[in-house]
Every structure is written in C-alpha cells, then in structure tokens.
Amino acid sequence: MTSDGAARVTKVVIVGGGTAGWMTAAALSRLVPSGVSVTLVESEEIGTVGVGEATIPPLLDFNRMLGIDEDAFVRATGATFKLGIEFRDWARLGDAYLHPFGTHGRDIGGVSFHQLWLRQAALGNPDPGPIGDYCLSAVAARRGRFTRPSANPESVLSTLFYAFHFDAALYAKLLRDMAEQDGVVRVEGRVVAVERDAGTGFIEAVRLEGDRRIDGELFIDCSGFRSLLLGDALDVPFTSWKHWLPCDRAWAVPSQRQGGLTPYTRATADTAGWRWRIPLQHRVGNGYVYSSAHIDDDDARRALLAGLEGEALGEPRQLRFEAGRRDRLWERNCVAIGLSGGFLEPLESTSIHLIQSGITRLMSLFPDLGFGVTEIDEYNRVMLREYEQVRDFIILHYHATERSDSPFWDRCRTMAIPASLSAKLALWSGKARVFREQGELFTPDGWIAVLLGQGIRPASFDPLASALPADESARFLAHVRDVIDKTAAAMPTHEAFIAQNCAAR
Ligand code: FAD
C-alpha cells in the first residue's frame, strides 16, 4: 500500500472496446511501465456507438506515438485525407466557408497576417478576396487536391495540415490487433456489477455475467454513454450544456460514394441542426444532428435521406445524447475516457481528440506509485478546461448566425453564451485580437476562419498593420495568394494521391 492507502498499480482494467477503449489499450500496452498488465472487457452484444469518422490533425501524433505507418493505416481503415471542414448555410442560407487546418499567409514584423488582410479589406482597392484564399489547406480542399506537407519551414507546403476521415470500426480493429500483440488481454462479456472497497470507495473489481470477476487497481471507464464506472458506480454528477448546445439526437446512414473524393468534411446547417457528409474510400458517412425540441424524428430522418448524394446503404440508425460532461473525469482509481466522461457534438470532430488528450494526460500523470490527489486534481483541471474550450468554439458556430428562418436558429442566435466565449468575442470585436491559451486545442487561425466565416467583422484592426505602406502590403498579399494558388494547382488530386500511395484493397 502507498502512503495514501491505495495499492500500487500493476493491473489496469479497461471497461469498453469502442474507439476509446482500443485507443487506450493500444497506448497503454506500449507506454506503461513494465510489470503492468492491461485487461479490456467488452460486450459484442452491446456493441459500440458505431460513428466517429472525422478527426483533427493531432491524431497524426497519436498514430506516430504508436508507431503506425500512415499509408498502412489509410489502407486498413478506408481513410481519406481531411484538410478542413466546409460549413454551408451557417452564417446565412446560401453561404459557405471553410475552417481549414493550416495557417493563413505569413505574419510580418510581428503583425498577424489576418490584420494585414483586414486592413486591405478596409481599404478595398484591390479587394483582397476571402481570407481562405491565403490558406493552402483551404485552397487545396476547394480544388480537391492533396499532398503531404513539407518539413522545410521555408516552403509554403509546410503550412498545410491535415487529418483523416476513417472507418471507426476498422480503426478499432487495427488498434485491437496491435494491443493484443502487445499483451493486452481481451475479455468478452457484460459487466453486471462493480465492487468497491467499503472504506476508500475505490473500485476493486468488475463482475461479469457468468459469475466472473476481474480485479485491478486502475479502472478506465470506456463504456460509452452508459458511464458504468464513473457515472453509475462512483456517482460523479453530469453537468448538462444542453441550454447552449440543444442538439440531442442524430440519424446516421452510410451511402454509396458518388463522384470525386472531397478532402474535407461537409457540415450543412439545416432547419433544426446540421447534416454531416464524411467521404471514405469505400462509402460516404452521413448524419443529421438535430434538436428534438425543434423537429420530430421522422422529419429529421426524411431530411437526412433527401440530402444524400448516393444511394443509402441500409436503414438510418438513431443516436441519442446530451451535451455536457462529468464534473470530474478522474475519481478515486477510475478515469473516464471517451463518451463515459462527456460528449460534445461532432461539429468540429473533437470527440476522438478528447480521447487522445485523456490518454496522453493519463500517461504523463500515470499513478504507478499510487493515487496522489495532486495528480488527480491536475488531470481534472486540465481536461475539464479543454472540454470547456471546445464547447465554446462549437457554440460560436451556432450563435454567430444571421439565420432567422426557423425557431431553432432564432433560439441559437439570441441565446446567452458562456462568459468565456463572450470574453473572446469582445477581444475580437474591437481590433480582431485572438489569443490562444496555453494548451488550447484550436489555433488563432481556426478561430479567425470561423469568426470571419460566420460573418463577425471586427470594428477595426491592429494599428501596427498600417505601419507597412499600403501598396507594399497589397503587393505582399497578392504574392501570397499567387504562391498558394500555384502550389495548390501543382498538387495531385486527392484521388490520385490515394491511388498512388494508400488505396484500400
Ligand atoms: P462506445 O463506442 O459506445 O463504446 C462503448 C464500449 O463499452 C463498447 O465496446 C460496449 O460494448 C462497452 N460496454 C458498454 N456497457 C458494457 C457492459 N455492461 N459490459 C461490457 N462492455 C460494455 N467523434 C469524432 O471524433 N468525430 C466524429 O465525426 C464523430 N461523430 C459522431 C457522431 C455522433 C452522432 C455521435 C453520437 C458521436 C460522434 N463522435 C465523433 C464521437 C465518437 O463516436 C466517440 O467519441 C467514439 O466512438 C468513442 O466512443 P466510446 O468508445 O467512448 O463509446
């Protein structure tokens, strides 16, 4: 026993084998100190949530950390490359913009590029065009082009960032194979009870159907929305964010691929939520995320099917959820990773990232010598803050709209927003200031793309942007746009890149 009464961690038990469970198992099997065993319990009969196909760039680091070859991964999961998200009809009907992964232009003399662009837009002659024209990821996405970035910081290709669209079930299978090869023991079965120590309240074991018992010292709850350990057994409360993010259901259906492979996710705003379109090599993932208070299920299902480009491959499946998170994600000897800890709708494809973030933080605070309050508090502080930052970014998309064509959009446009988001908007509204907090997921370029894309123009710009003579500044912008345009034109098409390097067989 350690000083705080907890046993040393030699046995880790993961409950759940969805994306969260197998990502955690694969990472732990490679990275925990030797002498620590990992067991994963999952129930095929219960199954997984079965969606979660769009990701963001940090996933590349996770795969690299596990030593996964990227081409092999793309082939094995039917993946495509993702340069950003196209938002249609969000600011107003008929409008579209991209939130690209990557940077806009280049800062000069300590002045952010977007400040130069805002000044040029204010001068108006010549019109600088949309800010997306100055981002290689955005221009390449629009033209259906893809190549990998350059490691040379002098090259404009170094400003390109990407992620993937993949088949979540195939990714879980890939990770499962790796984890099992590395010694993770998989147990098939349904957890029916959780045993806790009467004194400390720590979880001691899970009981499975058939009177089986699995004991351990560290329990990782990857049981999905059920939150079997953190929520049910340890009774950690759930804080709902439904008043800010009212969407609580989704219909999802795959469809046949038609036409070219777009290297971006599409999110189209609808009357009571939004529809996703995620292109994979072998099919397209589609869904309608909606507020059940604003549309009935049948109408939402019809809207999803009416918006498909190819034929539906099966019947739509319904999912129910609530935006929010548990008040602590690490409680006693249990850490919740994935949907068991919280859920933010997939508008910015952040759930798998929050899994990754939970895993990397758990690794850096791993309780191999027992459970210290300081480590647990730090984990909760950092993770809860990250949930809030992602929440604010998602709320921005709903709130910053001119749409008034349905009660849903009226509600989103007029609702009160979190103080943390109001503060960001206040900084932006004066001189377009964007600050990134330490560890914040979304970059200033991401905020700038969405703020401008949603039509929020600041009153002014940084006076430092006027230090550069107007004609010089205009020439600089024209040069940046030209280099990006030519670079994108020289890139292979997304299909050609995949066919040459990583086509699924
Ligand atoms: P699950 O997949 O639900 O897995 C739970 C596991 O626990 C299963 O193996 C189950 O069998 C097991 N289990 C449960 N109860 C028991 C029991 N009693 N005994 C034994 N085992 C049990 N994320 C993204 O990053 N990008 C997206 O594009 C995206 N789109 C989404 C769209 C929708 C509509 C929804 C709802 C989510 C989306 N997500 C997305 C989130 C993503 O799907 C999840 O974060 C991810 O799949 C992880 O889920 P999970 O592993 O936590 O839970």
Q: Of ligand 1's atoms, which has the minimum distance to the CA of residue 20?
A: 51
ipTM: 0.99
Cα→Cα distances 313→249, 284, 477, Å? 20, 9, 46
- The rounded Å distance from CA 287 to ligand 1 centre is 16
- Ligand 1 in contact with 52 (CB < 6 A)? yes
Strands (E), 155-314: 163-165, 185-188, 191-196, 203-208, 212-215, 218-221, 238-240, 249-255, 265-270, 273-279, 284-290
Report helix, strand or coil for 87.
strand
Give the orientation angle of helix 444-453 with respect to helix 113-123, to 10 degrees. Answer: 30
- Ligand 1 in contact with 273 (CB < 6 A)? no
- Ligand 1 in contact with 49 (CB < 6 A)? yes
The pLDDT of residue 188 is 98
Mutate to test the pocket of ligand 1, among 223, 284, 304 (most ligand atoms within 8 A of CB): 223
Q: Of ligand 1's atoms, which has the minimum distance to the CA of residue 225?
A: 3
Q: For atom 40 of ligand 1, which residue has the closest CA?
A: 52
Residues in the chain: 505
The pLDDT of residue 3 is 40
Under a CB-based contact definition with an 8 Å cutoff, are residues 10 and 369 in contact? no
Under a CB-based contact definition with an 8 Å cutoff, are residues 358 and 335 in contact? yes
Looking only at the bridges linking them, the beta strands covering 185-188 and 37-42 are: parallel
Q: For atom 35 of ligand 1, which residue has the closest CA?
A: 51
Nearest to 453 by CA among 84, 83, 106: 84
Mutate to test the pocket of ligand 1, among 275, 326, 339, 387 (most ligand atoms within 8 A of CB): 339
- Ligand 1 in contact with 19 (CB < 6 A)? yes
Under a CB-based contact definition with an 8 Å cutoff, are residues 222 and 257 in contact? no
Give the orientation angle of helix 407-414 with respect to helix 373-399, to 10 degrees. Answer: 120
The pLDDT of residue 7 is 54
- Ligand 1 in contact with 263 (CB < 6 A)? no
The pLDDT of residue 438 is 83
Q: Of ligand 1's atoms, which has the minimum distance to the CA of residue 278?
A: 28
Strand 191-196: give its sheet, edge to edge: 191-196, 203-208, 212-215
147 φ/ψ angles, rounded to the nearest 5 degrees? -155, 165
Q: Of ligand 1's atoms, which has the minimum distance to the CA of residue 222?
A: 52
- Tell me the catalytic residues: 82
- The rounded Å distance from CA 340 to ligand 1 centre is 8
Could you give all domains of the chain from N- to C-terminal order, each with its CATH number?
Answer: 11-53+167-243+323-389 (3.50.50.60), 84-160+418-495 (no CATH), 249-256+266-276+284-320 (no CATH)
Q: Is the dihedral of CA 311, 313, 319, 323 positive or negative?
A: negative
- Ligand 1 in contact with 349 (CB < 6 A)? yes
- Ligand 1 in contact with 356 (CB < 6 A)? no
- Ligand 1 in contact with 351 (CB < 6 A)? yes
Q: Which residues of the chain have pLDDT under 70?
A: 1-7
Mutate to test the pocket of ligand 1, among 13, 48, 288 (most ligand atoms within 8 A of CB): 48
pTM of the predicted protein model: 0.97
Q: Of ligand 1's atoms, which has the minimum distance to the CA of residue 339?
A: 52
The pLDDT of residue 390 is 98
Nearest to 288 by CA among 271, 301, 306, 298: 301
Looking only at the bridges linking them, the beta strands covering 203-208 and 80-82 are: unpaired
Q: For atom 21 of ligand 1, which residue has the closest CA?
A: 42
The first and second tokens of residue 232, run together, are 């049910």
